[in-house]
Copies of this chain bind each other. A is one copy, B any other.
Amino acid sequence: MVNFLGKSSSRLPEAVYILNSGSVVGTKEGEGPLGVLFDKVSKDDMFGCKTWEDAECSLQKEALEMALAKCHMSTGEIRYLFAGDLLGQSMASSFGLASFEIPHFGLYGACSTCGEALALGAMTIAGGYADRVACVTSSHFASAEKEFRFPLNYGNQRPLSATWTVTGSGAFLLGNEKARMAYLEKEESVTDKSNRQARAKITGFTVGTMVDYGLRDSMNMGACMAPAAARTIAGHLQDFGVGPEHYDKIITGDLGLVGKEILLDLLWKQGIDISMNHTDCGIEIFDGKTQDTHSGGSGCGCCAVTLSAYILKQLEEKAWKRVLFVPTGALLSKTSFNEGKTVPGIAHGIVLESL
């Protein structure tokens, strides 16, 4: 059985469905262009907790609970959990999700973790290792600033190349055909008929390599990640033997305005023009002009909540039929930064199709 393709891709032997999903965000995200689309916008960025880290734990917990509730599914029906976040030792996932008692694969791919989780989750289901899995990622502006940059109270100035870490978590329930049928049957017997079928399907993926162009600027992560996104997108198109026009949209994770330009340039030099159908979750989630977010949004939560609230909605409504979703990550830590190391990037590509 050979389910792999080209250098680092797979076309899944059977489609994997995103049965449903949940998105929970903070106040600033709620005020942004996608604000009305999120499942829950909290008025309290502490989410009733005493620490920023606990707040991020709550985000993951609520997002997963929301997705489960929408599917009328109990935690016991989820075979495996693929989860991660930006904090040291993935603290938000460990403490946010432990109480669900779902067998757990902890992931770390910086802001690309959502893509990594969807790739592994889809592989697990299409390989027959599970009927249903959950993929959960998060970020929180304040816990990320504390983890990677400066105490908020410094009121530190941010260069225009900086991105704003999204406070949010997205949870996705993936299932095979059998799980989708079971879901539809449950839907028939309940009153809330808002989601009559799975939201979209995952049909393939391309796994990214770490790409290091030698940049050291943690305030310009778009530039650090763009080369990785370019390599993953170019590799994906080659592996699948298609051009950019094969996709209604190619959507990167959190390159922001600065990273987007670099990405388009890098691909253009390889003869690949994605300018007509590219966008970036970091650009979509905030209004740069009024929200003072400079280059755009970022974080593990950025692409996750944008996927749940916006991209899947477009696929459901068939406004788009096929999307290449490319979460991007910058692999830095405060230690690596303080020791003067570079910031390698990574990006994973997920093929999403409408039903």
Chain A residues engaging chain B, CB cutoff 8 angstroms:
1-4, 7-8, 10, 13, 51, 53-54, 79-80, 84, 86-91, 94-95, 97-98, 101-110, 113, 116, 119-120, 123-124, 126-131, 147, 207-212, 331-336, 339, 341, 344, 346
How long is the Cα–Cα vector from A120 to B103 in the complex, in angstroms?
A: 13
A140 to chain B, nearest CB (A): 12
- Return chain B residues, CB-CB under 8 Å to A8: 79-80, 103
Question: Are A88 and B335 neighbours in the complex by a CB distance under 8 Å?
Answer: yes
- Pick the residue among B80, B131, B336 that contacts A95 (CB under 8 A): B336
A138 to chain B, nearest CB (A): 14
Question: Are B91 and A336 neighbours in the complex by a CB distance under 8 Å?
Answer: yes
- Return chain B residues, CB-CB under 8 Å to A106: 107-109, 113, 116, 331, 346
- Return chain B residues, CB-CB under 8 Å to A207: 80, 103-105
Question: Are A98 and B128 neighbours in the complex by a CB distance under 8 Å?
Answer: no
Question: Are B104 and A107 neighbours in the complex by a CB distance under 8 Å?
Answer: no
Copies of this chain = 2
How long is the Cα–Cα vector from A333 to B88 in the complex, in angstroms?
A: 6
A146 to chain B, nearest CB (A): 8
Question: Are A107 and B107 neighbours in the complex by a CB distance under 8 Å?
Answer: yes
How long is the Cα–Cα vector from A204 to B352 in the complex, in angstroms?
A: 30
Given A53-B335, A103-B209, A104-B208, output 12 extra A-B contacts at Cβ < 8 Å.
Answer: A1-B128, A51-B339, A88-B335, A89-B333, A90-B331, A97-B210, A103-B207, A104-B210, A106-B113, A123-B124, A124-B127, A127-B129
How long is the Cα–Cα vector from A283 to B295 in the complex, in angstroms?
A: 51
Question: Are B116 and A127 neighbours in the complex by a CB distance under 8 Å?
Answer: no
Question: Are B4 and A89 neighbours in the complex by a CB distance under 8 Å?
Answer: no
How long is the Cα–Cα vector from A54 to B116 in the complex, in angstroms?
A: 25
- Return chain B residues, CB-CB under 8 Å to A208: 103-104
How long is the Cα–Cα vector from A147 to B212 in the complex, in angstroms?
A: 24
Given contacts A91-B335, A128-B4, A333-B88, contact A105 B79 (CB under 8 A): no
Residue of B nearest to A112 (CB): B106
Given contacts A8-B80, A95-B344, A128-B127, contact A101 B53 (CB under 8 A): no
- Pick the residue among B53, B79, B127, B346 that contacts A336 (CB under 8 A): B53
Chain A to chain B: the 3 pairs with minimum beta-carbon distance, closest first: A127-B127, A88-B88, A1-B128
A142 to chain B, nearest CB (A): 13
Question: Are B333 and A129 neighbours in the complex by a CB distance under 8 Å?
Answer: no
- Return chain B residues, CB-CB under 8 Å to A210: 94, 97-98, 101, 104
How long is the Cα–Cα vector from A23 to B131 in the complex, in angstroms?
A: 36
Question: Are A94 and B344 neighbours in the complex by a CB distance under 8 Å?
Answer: yes
A20 to chain B, nearest CB (A): 22
How long is the Cα–Cα vector from A93 to B119 in the complex, in angstroms?
A: 20
How long is the Cα–Cα vector from A1 to B107 in the complex, in angstroms?
A: 26
- Return chain B residues, CB-CB under 8 Å to A209: 101-104
- Return chain B residues, CB-CB under 8 Å to A95: 336, 341, 344
A341 to chain B, nearest CB (A): 6
How long is the Cα–Cα vector from A94 to B343 in the complex, in angstroms?
A: 9
Of the listed residues A84, A119, A123, A212, the one surrounded by the most CB atoms of chain B closer than 10 A to its CB is: A123
A47 to chain B, nearest CB (A): 15
A274 to chain B, nearest CB (A): 21
